[in-house]
Amino acid sequence: MRDLTQTLARRQFIQQAAAGTVITALGGLYVIAGDEAHAEERPDGRPRIPPGQRVIKQLKPMGGEEGSPSRKSFQLKVHGEVDHPFTVGFDELQALGTVTQSLDVHCVTGWSALGKSWRGVRLKTLADKAGVDKRARHVIFEAAHGYTSNVPLREALAPSVMVAWEVDGKRLRRAHGAPVRALVPDLYFWKSAKWLTGIKFVRKDEPGYWETRGYHNHADPWKEERHG
């Protein structure tokens, strides 16, 4: 019976491999996309899966110095080159206009998670409320323990860029940035700062934590902008 079970399991594994493999490695479930997934295109004509990426089923935490996951004590400061700086708690943030979007994310370490359902508020909604000065050119995401990441304003205002608090219908785990994180799906995932505390609009670029440590200042996955 044991030999039969192993044979059936191996047969199932091979069948999965032919369609877009599912393998277990280092304790995690990976889905290696087949030719069909790699052939998919985005509306902008770029391949859905950037070069050098493998598809995984679940987000990987990727470390970082964790902030408080408490929604009750959460405060988000929106400031910088704006007419109306403001600070909101978690309930106030939700009240600004919640959206749910299916988005792909891509980590610089080589994994991508496709079609995750993200719930939050668009960054543009916060920018409109604050009244961003026309001279502002960049957004700086501020997070726990002084972590920052920088994004060009024109890209940060895209409809897909969010401040998110849920993924796939569940609250963000602390390891993924609870209570809220930034989400910039068209740039490598380190730009999507976890344990978010502030959003600052600035005229001059301010390279962040990883950008000052040798990582690329822009971080386009389709150009493989991994290192500066």
Q: What is the pLDDT at residue 228?
A: 87
pLDDT of residue 50: 98
When divided into structural domains, the chain yields a total of: 1
Does a structural domain hold residue 136?
Answer: yes
Indicate whether 19 belongs to any domain.
no
pLDDT value at residue 18: 36
Q: What is the pTM of this model?
A: 0.84
Give the pLDDT of residue 81.
98
194 CA to centre of own chain: 9
* 24 located within any domain: no
Residue 154 has a pLDDT of: 98
Query: Which structural domain, as residue segments, surrounds residue 60?
Result: 51-223
* Cα–Cα dist 165/120, whole Å: 6
Flag residues of the chain having pLDDT under 50: 1-32
179 domain residue, yes or no:
yes
- Residue at 152 is within a domain: yes
Using DSSP's 3-state secondary structure scheme, residue 126 falls into helix
Q: What is the pLDDT of residue 143?
A: 98
CA–CA dist 193, 183 (Å, integer): 7
- With respect to residue 59, please indicate whether it lies within any of the assigned structural domains: yes
**Full DSSP string of 147-195:** -EEEEEHHHHTSTT-EEEEEETTEEPPGGGTTT-EEE-TTS-GGGS-SS
pLDDT for 98: 97
What pLDDT is attached to residue 36? 62
Output the average pLDDT for the chain: 88
State the CATH number of the domain containing residue 150. Answer: 3.90.420.10
Question: Per the domain annotation, does 64 fall within a domain?
Answer: yes
Alpha-carbon span 149 to 109, nearest angstrom: 17
Residue 123 placed within a domain? yes
